[in-house]
Chain A
Amino acid sequence: MTTDTRPAPAHRDHAVRVNDCALKLANVNGSGSASANMLLMKAIFRMGIPVSGKNLFPSNIQGLPTWYEIRVNETGHTGRALDYDLMVMMNMQTYADDVREVRSGGYALYDSTWPLDPGLVRPDVTYLGVPLTTLCAEHFSAAREQVLMKNICYAGAVVALLSIDVDIVSSLLDETFQRNARLRESNQLALRLGYEYACEHFDCPLPIRLEPMDANAGKILVDGNTATALGCLYAGATVAAWYPITPSTSVMDNFTSLCHRYRREPTGETGPDGEVRYRNDYLILQAEDELAAIGMVLGASWTGARAFTSTSGPGISLMNEMLGLGYYAEIPAVVVDVQRTGPSTGMPTRTQQADILLAAYASHGDTKHLLLFPSNPAECFELAVKAFDLAERFQTPVIMLTDLDIGMNDWVVPRLRWDDGYVPDRGRVLDKEALEQLGRFFRYADEDEDHVVARTLPGVSEKGAYFTRGSGHDKFGAYTEAPDEYQEVVDRLARKHAAAALHMPPPVLEARDGATIGVVAVGSSEPAIREALDLLDDSGLPVDFLRIRGFPFAPAVREFLDAHELVFVVELNRDAQLRSLLTVETGVDPARLRSVLAYGGFPMSARQVADGITAQLES
Chain B
Amino acid sequence: MASITKPLIPLVRLERNELGLTVRDYEGAMSTLCAGCGHDSITAAIIRAVFELAIPPHMISKLSGIGCSSKTTAYFVRGAHGFNAVHGRMAAIATGANAANRQLRTIGVSGDGDSLSIGVGHLTHAIRRNVNMLYVIENNGVYGLTKGQFSASADVSSTSKRGEPNLLPPIDPMMLGLSLGATFVARGFSGDKAHLVPLLKAGLEHEGFALVDVISPCIQFGDHEGSTKSYAFTREHETLVDDPLLLGEDQIVAHLPDDATTSVRMHSGEVLRLRSLPAGFDPTDRASAFAYLEERKAAGEIPMGLFYVNEAVPDVHELNETSSEPLVSVPYKRLCPGSSALEEIQQRFV
Partner of B1, one of A287, A303, A471, A474: A474
Given A239-B99, A278-B321, residue A457 in contact with residue B339 (CB < 8 A): no
- The answer to whether B79 touches A462 (Cβ under 8 A) is yes
Partner of B96, one of A239, A460, A462: A239
Given A277-B321, A459-B58, A470-B86, residue A416 in contact with residue B100 (CB < 8 A): no
Partner of A238, one of B78, B100, B337: B100
Question: Which of A476-484, A525-533, A580-588 makes up part of the contact surface?
Answer: A476-484
| Interface membership of B322, Cβ < 8 A | yes
Nearest chain B CB to A172 CB, angstrom units: 11
Encoded as 1 (CB less than 8 Å from any B CB) or 0, chain A from 237 to 269 comes to 011010000000000000000100011000000
Instruction: List residues of chain B with CB within 8 A of the CB of A506.
Output: none
Given A298-B93, A465-B80, residue A303 in contact with residue B61 (CB < 8 A): yes
Given A283-B316, A283-B317, residue A299 in contact with residue B58 (CB < 8 A): no
Question: Which of B218-226, B251-259, B326-334 makes up part of the contact surface?
Answer: B326-334
Instruction: List residues of chain B with CB within 8 A of the CB of A258.
Output: 345
- The answer to whether B101 touches A303 (Cβ under 8 A) is yes
Instruction: List residues of chain B with CB within 8 A of the CB of A285.
Output: 95-96, 99, 129, 316
| Interface membership of B144, Cβ < 8 A | no
| Interface membership of A281, Cβ < 8 A | yes
Partner of A465, one of B3, B81, B341: B81
Given A297-B96, A322-B89, residue A478 in contact with residue B58 (CB < 8 A): no
- The answer to whether B97 touches A480 (Cβ under 8 A) is no
Interchain CA distance A570-B324 in the complex, whole Å:
50
- The answer to whether B84 touches A468 (Cβ under 8 A) is yes
Interchain CA distance A301-B100 in the complex, whole Å:
8
Nearest chain B CB to A47 CB, angstrom units: 12
Interface centre among A284, A419, A456, A458 (most CB of B within 10 A): A458
- The answer to whether A295 touches B2 (Cβ under 8 A) is no
Partner of A288, one of B121, B327, B341, B350: B121
Please report which residues of chain B, range 46-71, place their CB below 8 angstroms from some CB of chain A when the two chains form the complex: 56-61, 63, 66
Nearest chain A CB to B37 CB, angstrom units: 17
Encoded as 1 (CB less than 8 Å from any B CB) or 0, chain A from 438 to 476 comes to 000000000000000000111111101111111100101
Nearest chain B CB to A369 CB, angstrom units: 17
| Interface membership of B304, Cβ < 8 A | no
Given A281-B334, A459-B104, A465-B81, residue A307 in contact with residue B96 (CB < 8 A): yes
- The answer to whether A299 touches B78 (Cβ under 8 A) is no
A: contact size bracket? 35 or more
| Interface membership of B191, Cβ < 8 A | no
| Interface membership of B323, Cβ < 8 A | yes
Instruction: List residues of chain A with CB within 8 A of the CB of B81.
Output: 302, 456-459, 464-468
Question: Which of A97-105, A180-188, A228-236 makes up part of the contact surface?
Answer: A228-236
- The answer to whether B321 touches A303 (Cβ under 8 A) is no
Nearest chain B CB to A238 CB, angstrom units: 4
Instruction: List residues of chain A with CB within 8 A of the CB of B267.
Output: none
Instruction: List residues of chain B with CB within 8 A of the CB of A480.
Output: 2
* B contact residues, total (Cβ < 8 Å): 66
Instruction: List residues of chain A with CB within 8 A of the CB of B1.
Output: 474, 476, 478
- The answer to whether A468 touches B58 (Cβ under 8 A) is no
Partner of A460, one of B58, B82, B100, B334: B58
Interchain CA distance A297-B93 in the complex, whole Å:
7
Interchain CA distance A444-B57 in the complex, whole Å:
22
Instruction: List residues of chain B with CB within 8 A of the CB of A234.
Output: 336-337, 342
Instruction: List residues of chain B with CB within 8 A of the CB of A307.
Output: 96, 99-100
- The answer to whether A220 touches B350 (Cβ under 8 A) is yes
Nearest chain B CB to A594 CB, angstrom units: 38
Encoded as 1 (CB less than 8 Å from any B CB) or 0, chain A from 547 to 558 comes to 000000000000
- The answer to whether B96 touches A296 (Cβ under 8 A) is yes
- The answer to whether A279 touches B96 (Cβ under 8 A) is no
Partner of B3, one of A415, A470, A478: A478
Please report which residues of chain B, range 292-344, place their CB below 8 angstroms from some CB of chain A when the two chains form the complex: 316-317, 320-324, 326-328, 330, 332, 334-339, 341-342
- The answer to whether B89 touches A292 (Cβ under 8 A) is yes
Instruction: List residues of chain A with CB within 8 A of the CB of B74.
Output: 467, 479
- Nearest to A223 among chain B residues (CB) is B349
| Interface membership of B268, Cβ < 8 A | no
| Interface membership of A74, Cβ < 8 A | no
Instruction: List residues of chain B with CB within 8 A of the CB of A296.
Output: 92-93, 95-96, 99
Instruction: List residues of chain B with CB within 8 A of the CB of A284.
Output: 320
Partner of B327, one of A241, A281, A298: A281
Instruction: List residues of chain A with CB within 8 A of the CB of B323.
Output: 279-281
| Interface membership of A12, Cβ < 8 A | no
| Interface membership of A546, Cβ < 8 A | no
- The answer to whether A479 touches B58 (Cβ under 8 A) is no
Please report which residues of chain A, range 277-335, place their CB below 8 angstroms from some CB of chain B when the two chains form the complex: 277-285, 287-289, 291-293, 295-305, 307, 321-322, 325
Please report which residues of chain A, range 47-94, place their CB below 8 angstroms from some CB of chain B when the two chains form the complex: none
Given A280-B320, A418-B342, residue A302 in contact with residue B83 (CB < 8 A): yes
7 new A-B pairs (CB below 8 Å) besides A299-B94, A476-B3? A238-B335, A241-B96, A284-B320, A303-B97, A459-B103, A466-B81, A471-B66
- Could you list 6 examples of A-B contacts with CB < 8 Å? A281-B330, A299-B96, A301-B100, A303-B96, A466-B82, A468-B81
